[in-house]
Homo-oligomer: A and B are copies of this chain.
């Protein structure tokens, strides 16, 4: 099964990387762009036929390695739900 884990900074946490990209876009001539926030998404192929078990494994892996739960939120979705 394939899952996507999306990791993004929690609301209210400053995103200096996003701010820098935002400024760079202004310099390149896109003043319409108001705000940029950058997250990551992790495509995981997992050998586990039970979707609930697979999700539990990924939940644990996200807590332990993929995300920093202090400042980041994560969201786990089977890839089918992505267009």
Pair B21/A46 contact, Cβ less than 8 Å: no
Number of identical monomers bound together in the oligomeric complex: 2
A38 touches B36 (CB 8 A): no
The residue of chain B having its C-beta at the shortest distance from the C-beta of A66 within the complex is B21
CB of A40 within 8 A of CB of B40, answer yes
Those of A20-66 within 8 Å (CB) of chain B: 21, 24-25, 28, 30, 32-48, 54, 57, 60-61, 64-66
**A32, B57: Cβ atoms closer than 8 Å:** yes
Docked-complex contact B6 and A32, CB < 8 angstroms: no
The 10 closest A-B pairs by CB, nearest first: A35-B45, A34-B45, A37-B43, A32-B48, A32-B47, A40-B40, A39-B41, A32-B46, A41-B41, A33-B46
